[in-house]
Amino acid sequence: MGYSQAQKKENHERIVSIAATRFREAGLDGLGVAAIMKEAGLTHGGFYAHFGSRDDMVAQALEFAFQEDEERLSRAMGRRGGPSLDAFLEVYLSPAHRDTPGQGCTLAAVACEAARKDETVKRLFQNRIETYAIKLAPQLGLTEEQMLMVLSTVAGALVLSRTVEDSAMSDRILEGARHQLRACFAEQKKGGKAPPSSMYSVA
C-alpha cells in the first residue's frame, strides 16, 4: 500500500471515529459534515473522497460506534469480574455512563432519531439489538426475550436520566432501574419463574 493510500485510510478512520463520538453527543443531525471534517483536520471539499454522501458517513459511523460499544462494555464488565447481569447493570446504569454520552451506548444516544431515519439506519439498529439478544444474553444468563426486556429498560432509564436537570432525580432513575431489574431476576431465581414481561408488574 502506497503512502497516499495508507494516509487516506488513516484519515478515513479518523473521520469515522470522530463522527461516531459526535453523533452520540449531538445526535445524528446535530453536526454537519464541515464541522466533522474540520475536527479531523481535513477540508470540507475532501469529504467525497471518503464517502458517497452524508448518509454513507452516518452508516459507517454507526457501525464503528456499535463495535466500539461492544468492546468498551466487554472491558468494563471484565474489570468487575467478567460478564454477569450485575456487572452489566453496574456499568450501564452508572453516573459515569450517563455523564459521558460520547463514549457511551449508541442505542440510547440516538435511538429516538434512528426511528425517523431510513431503512439502512433502522437495519443497523436492528442488527445491534439482535446482537445484544443473541450474543450478550447467554453471557448474562438470560434468554433472548429477557435480554430484550433488560435492554429496553436500561436504555430507557439512561435516556430519562439525561433529560432531567435535578441530579438527585437523575441518580434515582438509574438506581431505581438497577433495583427493579435485580429484584425481578432475584424473584425469578427464588421461585423458578420467568420474570414478567413488563417492569411495571414488579412490586
C-alpha torsion angle, residues 143, 152, 27, 116 (rounded to 10) = 100
Does 195 have pLDDT greater than 60?
no
Q: Which runs of consecutive H residues, i.e. helices, occur in the chain?
A: 3-26, 33-39, 54-78, 85-92, 95-99, 106-114, 119-131, 137-139, 144-163, 167-191
Confidence of residue 187 (pLDDT cuts 50, 70, 90): confident
| pTM for this entry | 0.87
Count the Cβ atoms, other than its own, within 10 Å of residue 5: 9
Q: What nine digits make up the cell of 17?
A: 471515529
Q: Return d(Cα 22, Cα 182) in angstroms, integer.
A: 33
For helices 54-78 and 3-26, the axis angle rounded to 10 degrees is: 80
Domains of the chain: 53-201 (1.10.357.10)
Question: What pLDDT does 196 receive?
Answer: 45
Q: Return d(Cα 70, Cα 131) in angstroms, integer.
A: 10
**For residues 107 and 200, which has the higher predicted lDDT (pLDDT)?**
107
pLDDT tens digits for range 154-166? 999 999 999 999 9
Question: What pLDDT does 130 receive?
Answer: 96
pLDDT tens digits for range 93-136? 999 999 999 999 999 999 999 999 999 999 999 999 999 999 99
Q: Return d(Cα 125, Cα 142) in angstroms, integer.
A: 21
Question: What pLDDT does 4 receive?
Answer: 84
For helices 85-92 and 144-163, the axis angle rounded to 10 degrees is: 20
Q: Return d(Cα 109, Cα 96) in angstroms, integer.
A: 14
Q: Return d(Cα 13, Cα 33) in angstroms, integer.
A: 15
Q: Return d(Cα 22, Cα 187) in angstroms, integer.
A: 40
pLDDT tens digits for range 37-62? 999 999 999 999 999 999 999 999 99
Would you say the C-alpha torsion 146, 62, 31, 16 has a positive or negative sign?
positive
- Measuring CA to CA, which residue among 11, 3, 20, 9 is closest to residue 67? 20
